Amino acid sequence: MMDVRSKLHSGPSGRRVSGVDLLRDPALNKGTAFTQAERDAFGLNGLLPARVHTMEEQVHRELLRVRKQPDDLARYVHLAGLRDRNETLFFRVVMDAMDEMMPIIYTPTVGEACQLYARIFQSARGLFISANDKGRIATLLRAFPQKEIGIIVVTDGERILGLGDLGANGMGIPVGKLSLYTACAGVHPLLTLPIALDVGTDNPALLDDPLYIGLRQRRVRGAAYDALIEEFVTAVTEVFPGAVIQFEDFANTNAFRLLHKYESRAAVFNDDIQGTASMSLAGIYSALRLSKGTLAEQRLLCLGAGEAATGLCDLFVSALAQEGVPVTEARKRCWLFDSRGLVVKSRGDLSSHKQPYAHDHEAIGDFTAAVRELRPTALIGASGQPGTFTREVLEAASAINERPIVFALSNPTSKSECTAEQAYAFTHGKAIFASGSPFPPVHFQGKTFVPGQANNAYVFPGVGLGAIACGARRVTDEMFATAARTLAEQVTDEDLALGRIFPSLTRIKEVSLQVAVAVAEIAWERGLAGKPRPADPVAFIRDQQYEPHYISYI
């Protein structure tokens, strides 16, 4: 358990911090909640108004201020400023109003925030490591003020959500993801480190933008890029041994090969591949409770053939294999449809991650035709192309299935393959729907549907918490498969009655705890844990969960 009181003394002399130090350090600042005794002890009298507020009063004030902002981007900026002033209060606000705050601090608002990152930039958070830092990455890591790091989220900014190459502006993603580690799973913020690897950008608008915060050069590629990544991973394992590394929003060309290169060397994972897969598989498990089908009866048709789609197919195949279905047969139940049409063996342009799902079939260039021909039970949207689950597509899926599974996973909302309203209306209320970004409840033919948000935040924070708690030396596909089953078990009958196939966000901290325990159990069983298994794993991990409240400094 991290203790911010250790920061009350700084430097080799153990100098007691001053009142100004307290007010300027977001990990220590309490604002108007400093007690009178603390004000006397640290020289805060006169630096604050006389009234001592409770945290509850501060939360109420901040919620009023957030809600008065003109739009979600302004709310994002306001909350970022709050975190820069008072991190404890920031997380208290977020955790007390999770349903309201998550779409602001992460998807969909974080997409717009990244696009405008240079213009809303207020203060640096985490580390920006550029291609110019080759040869000194370990030095930069050692200079970071936090010396104990449990989880790192790193991006090179090439494929931010469905928005493409945003270069160093992509730092908003690691910052947002790590906020969710704390808010959703209780990973202490002092254990988290966001990193942007600035290797340039091929986005001409950014290269021409005088306010852009990153290197104004084309992307470093090839051997030079690989050497930088190698130095980075090596430096992390040296400076922060045991830290989990989450690769985030790397382009397909790098995401798969970097994961495969480093997954046997360190505790690394790729949330776009493995986290999305686990979350989607959990959604399928939950949907089967409504459709009354079995996993072995499912046929997936993925619109998009990148990290999310192939990651899901890989995990789906693994889950079927555990049920006794041969891998070759399981793969035949997964189909990919990319920008050139149905992925089939006769195509000669297939990258390695698509090849296991290239089947003997005639080419089909129209997605609706593919739905009618292949008769999938589940449509998985991971294309980044809005509106591609058209009326014709959804009606075709509805004609084939009594309860079609429709997952429109692309983020942000502007990239969603269809809206919740379209999914229910065009399937006559039959769809079991989930989306990557949130949609409001839908009223259709006298019934209210509460669409589930297929948010990776149901998976990766719990996986990270479990890995940190047990000191996992590796993060494996088995852990993500177990996380999927555990997440699905947290969905209640009440959730399903509303059409919601994921738990309410109000329960996410407890859900994350259960995922963490399941992940840690796998590490202990497989000999991958650096810490011994306690007698009560649930109590052991729960005790490590951060809760934002003020502690006494005297």
Do 148 and 193 lie in one domain? The reply is yes
Do 260 and 297 lie in one domain? The reply is no
Residue 527 belongs to a domain:
no
Do 191 and 339 lie in one domain? The reply is no
Question: DSSP 3-state helix, strand, coil percentages of the chain (rounded to 5)?
Answer: 50, 10, 40
Do 245 and 281 lie in one domain? The reply is no
Do 362 and 256 lie in one domain? The reply is no
Q: 29 φ, ψ to 5°?
A: -65, 135
Q: How far apart, in whole angstroms, are the C-alpha atoms of residue 234 and residue 2?
A: 26
Residue 376 belongs to a domain:
yes
Q: In a structure prediction context, what are the per-residue pLDDT tens digits for the chain, which is 554 residues long?
A: 456 666 665 544 455 678 899 999 999 999 999 999 999 999 999 999 999 999 999 999 999 999 999 999 999 999 999 999 999 999 999 999 999 999 999 988 999 999 999 999 999 899 999 999 999 999 999 999 999 999 999 999 999 988 999 999 999 999 999 999 999 999 999 999 999 999 999 999 999 999 999 999 999 999 999 999 999 999 999 999 999 999 999 999 899 999 999 999 999 999 999 999 999 999 999 999 999 999 999 999 999 999 999 999 999 999 999 999 999 999 999 999 999 999 999 998 799 999 999 999 999 999 999 999 999 999 999 999 999 999 999 999 999 999 999 999 998 888 999 999 999 999 999 999 999 988 999 999 999 999 988 999 999 999 999 999 999 999 999 999 999 999 999 999 999 999 999 999 899 999 999 999 999 999 999 999 999 999 999 999 999 999 999 999 98
Per DSSP, what are the bridge partners of residue 268? Answer: 245
Per DSSP, what are the bridge partners of residue 245? Answer: 152, 268
State the residue range of the domain holding 396: 274-457
Per DSSP, what are the bridge partners of residue 472? Answer: 529
- Angle among Cα 514, 518, 519 to the nearest 5 degrees reads 115
Active-site hit among 106, 262, 357, 546: 106
Residue 440 belongs to a domain:
yes
Q: How far apart, in whole angstroms, are the C-alpha atoms of residue 196 and residue 443?
A: 42
Structural domain count of the chain: 3
Supply the pLDDT for residue 12.
Answer: 40
Residue 260 belongs to a domain:
yes
Residue 321 belongs to a domain:
yes
Active-site hit among 30, 76, 177, 415: 177
Do 126 and 66 lie in one domain? The reply is no
- CATH number, domain at 347? 3.40.50.720
pTM recorded for the entire structure? 0.94
Do 181 and 48 lie in one domain? The reply is no
Domain end position, chosen among 70, 103, 136: 103
Residue 67 belongs to a domain:
yes
- CATH number, domain at 54? 1.20.1370.30
The kind and range of the H/E element at 284 are helix 276-291
Q: How far apart, in whole angstroms, are the C-alpha atoms of residue 451 and residue 434?
A: 6
- What lies within 8 Å, CB to CB, of 80 at 6+ separation is 120, 122
Residue 185 belongs to a domain:
yes
The kind and range of the H/E element at 79 are helix 72-85
Residue 167 belongs to a domain:
yes
Known catalytic residue: 225?
no
Domain end position, chosen among 397, 428, 457: 457
Domain end position, chosen among 457, 485, 513: 457
431 neighbors 391 (Cβ within 8 angstroms):
no
Do 139 and 229 lie in one domain? The reply is yes
Cis peptide before 451 (omega within 30 of 0): no
Strands (E), 262-412: 268-270, 300-303, 334-338, 341-342, 378-381, 405-408
Do 86 and 149 lie in one domain? The reply is no
Do 312 and 185 lie in one domain? The reply is no
Supply the pLDDT for residue 3.
Answer: 64
Do 285 and 420 lie in one domain? The reply is yes
Do 172 and 253 lie in one domain? The reply is yes
Known catalytic residue: 177?
yes
Supply the pLDDT for residue 15.
Answer: 58
The kind and range of the H/E element at 198 are strand 192-198
| Burial grade of 352 (CB within 10 A; 0-12, 13-18, 19 or more) | exposed
DSSP for 132-155, written as a single string: GGTT-HHHHHHHSS----SEEEEE
Dihedral Cα 547, 552, 553, 554, nearest 10 deg: -160
